[in-house]
Chain A
Amino acid sequence: MGSFRGQYFGAAAAAGLMLGHAAYADDYKLGQGVRIDDLKVSGYMTVDAEVPDKGKSELLADDLSLYVQGRFNRFFNPFFEAEIAGIPLLKEGEDPLSGKTATVVLERLYNDIYLKDDLTLRIGKSLSTVGEWNGIHAGPLVPTATRPLTTYRSFSEFISGPALIYRPSDEALPVTTLYWQPAGTMSHDLDTIENRNFRNIRGVNLSWNWDLENTVGLSLQEANIKDSDESQTLAGFNAHLVFEPFVIRTEATYTWLHSPRSMRVRDHEAGIFVQGEYNLNDRWALSARYEYFQDRDYVQASKNAVFGMAYRPQPPVVWKLEYLTQWGQELGLRSGVYASLAVLF
């Protein structure tokens, strides 16, 4: 369960700001949120259906996310996001709306200070910039219903602390992000893997972006692991290249463990996925992905492949249907059929 005190504080602050500023609002359009003066309220919802080859089928709302962002001046530009994750709707053999309890989490809470036109200081809890997927992980924005292990398993998805972001006007230069989390997280992260609570996180990301969608990135993140002498260094590479109608995405990480715990099977961890997408037209797309992940705690590597299709009737709405097959060590992805409906609002 997340820190409710932080969530209520954020929600109250956002509501107070909204009440204090109601000079203008634009007409509502799906996916564009509601803008009230210098504030914008928006969010997304994803409904997932999972039909594993072995195990119970399930329908759940995961996630329902709301974010409030403000743009006031050079110094005060807050962003708040809270989400309810894992809302049970139907599960095979169980009563509707029963089973596991939904969880409220504080995803992000930070303020941006524009030091210069191309330099921003961000302070608070934000997404860590390792690869591309972690930074855009919302259901309506990612190409498949299932998330590759490589995009979250080896590193801290969030940081609570300062980040310095350099966004040069020259596309030849990379967007550069430096970040540091000096202590623990502002609020508990929902998907934290056991024995991987990270502290003292520091990292850098270089991201070259051109023609809106093309991205090549390099990441480096160092972190200590809570309640141990263990620490780790992660190096990552990501690319998202568009050759209309084809799109290629890939992310790879390699993590070195320093002073690993005795329970660890190896002193490193590595993952890579390669995904190809073919846009049949503006609405329909096919995708295929292969992933290899060698976890620090298991002898066998985990491998999976995904074949799927997506239908996007309009930019903020996407239906996805895919089949995932996995072999080797099971690490949170089970073979089966996955479907989702994701909507930005």
Chain B
Amino acid sequence: MRGFVPYLLAALICLNAGSATAAPTERLMIIGNANVPVQAIDTAELTRIFMLKRTVWPDGTAIVPVNREARSEERQYFSKQVLGRSMRSLASYWNHMQFKGFMPPVVQESDAAVAAFVRNVPGAVGYIVADKVPEGVRVLGEIK
């Protein structure tokens, strides 16, 4: 029995460590292209951008919102915490808006791809897991 305790402790430590890393989306960082003419964005403004109700930055540059792919934890967390809608109703909404002449958010398949896209495309704004600030982008806020 005594010999079993270290294994049990090790298992508990592993479980605890697992829970610490199993929720990478508890904090998301909002990032924008270095040229975006704002220093910060609150969630209300971010919602307006992703719901396509705000389409240009104050200097006239087109806003290009960037989403993660539908199955990602980040997208699900962002949809729930910021946009407050189910994935399905958002997909339906963007389909309708696309038909009406709006451009739904661009989809990128990883945090690295989002960061690269935002870095390279003027007016782009997206979200990534908040662990390390990528080079060449502007941090516009954080979602907890």
Do A and B form a real pair? yes
A32 CB–B CB distance under 8 Å: yes
Among B60, B104, B117, the residue within 8 A (CB) of A32 is B104
Return chain A residues, CB-CB under 8 Å to B12.
Answer: none
A315 CB–B CB distance under 8 Å: yes
A228 CB–B CB distance under 8 Å: no
Measured CB to CB, the nearest residue on chain A to B70 is A29
Question: In the complex the two chains form, is A213's CB within 8 Å of B88's CB?
Answer: no
Q: Tell me the A58-102 residues at the B interface (CB within 8 Å).
A: 67, 69, 71-74, 77, 79
Question: In the complex the two chains form, is B101's CB within 8 Å of A141's CB?
Answer: no
Question: In the complex the two chains form, is A212's CB within 8 Å of B85's CB?
Answer: yes
Instruction: Name the interface size band of chain B.
Output: 20 to 34
Question: In the complex the two chains form, is B54's CB within 8 Å of A213's CB?
Answer: no
Among B64, B89, B98, B107, the residue within 8 A (CB) of A27 is B107
A167 CB–B CB distance under 8 Å: yes
Question: In the complex the two chains form, is B62's CB within 8 Å of A71's CB?
Answer: yes
Instruction: Name the interface size band of chain A.
Output: 35 or more
Question: In the complex the two chains form, is A42's CB within 8 Å of B98's CB?
Answer: yes
Q: Do most interface residues of chain B lie in helix, strand or loop, or is the interface mixed?
A: mixed
Provide the B81-100 mask, 1 if CB < 8 A to any CB of A, else 0.
00001001111110110111
A267 CB–B CB distance under 8 Å: no
A67–B121 alpha-carbon span in the complex (Å):
23
A108–B101 alpha-carbon span in the complex (Å):
10
A316 CB–B CB distance under 8 Å: yes
Among A29, A71, A117, the residue within 8 A (CB) of B107 is A29
Return chain B residues, CB-CB under 8 Å to A169.
Answer: 48, 53-54
Measured CB to CB, the nearest residue on chain A to B120 is A24
Query: What are 29 A-B pairs at a CB distance below 8 A?
Result: A24-B117, A26-B108, A27-B108, A29-B69, A31-B91, A31-B95, A35-B106, A38-B62, A40-B98, A71-B64, A72-B62, A73-B56, A77-B62, A79-B101, A108-B101, A117-B54, A117-B55, A136-B99, A167-B53, A169-B53, A169-B54, A212-B89, A212-B93, A282-B88, A315-B91, A315-B92, A315-B95, A316-B91, A344-B98
What are the 10 closest A-B residue pairs judged by CB atoms, nearest first?
A315-B91, A74-B60, A71-B62, A79-B101, A26-B106, A212-B93, A114-B56, A138-B99, A71-B103, A26-B107
